[in-house]
Structure 1
C-alpha cells in the first residue's frame, strides 16, 4: 500500500511524466476560486461521503489536496477505510505547492 502522504515534488514529477492519477481538491469553492491547480477534480470535503462512490474510481491513484494538508489527510483516511487503497494526501497542501512548485498559484 502507498504511504499516506506524498510530497508536492512527487506530485509535480507525476504530472510532468504524465503518470495517471486523480488530483482531488477537497477545499471549499471560494478557496478553489482563490488558488487552483489545473486539472483537479473539485469535491469539497463535506461532500466526499455523498459523492465518492459516483465520482471516484476505487482503483485509481487519487492524490488529495487541501490548503495545508489536514483536511486531505482526513479524506485520505476516510477513503482508505471505504476501500480506496491508492489514495495519498499532499503533504503541505496547495500552500506547499505554491512555495515549492508554482509560485504563480496564490497563497492565502
Structure 2
C-alpha cells in the first residue's frame, strides 16, 4: 500500500553553515519527527550535481511517510513544533512543506 508523504524542501542559511545545519537536522530534528505518531518512515535527500541543479531553489528534500490520517499527523506535528529543537543554521523562512497523496493504487 502506498502512503501519503509530507515533503519538505530546506536549505541552510549559508553554505558556511551547511555542516551545522546537517548535524542539527540528522541528530535533533529527525529524531523528534520520528517520535511523532503517524510518521512511519523518513528519507532525506541532497540535491545531486548535474543538469537542473543550478536552478533549484533548495538543496535538501525530506520525505516523511505517513501512516494514519494525514490531518491528524499534521495536527500533531504543529502541536509539537513549538517544543522542537531549533537551529539558526536552518533557513526556516525559505523552507517549503506540502502533503502529497498517492494517485490510484500507487503502482505503475
TM-score (structure 2 length as normaliser)? 0.28
Give 1 or 2 for the bigger CA radius of gyration.
2
Greater strand share, 1 or 2?
2
Larger relative contact order, structure 1 or 2 (CA cutoff 8 Å, min sep 6) = 2
TM-score (structure 1 length as normaliser)? 0.28
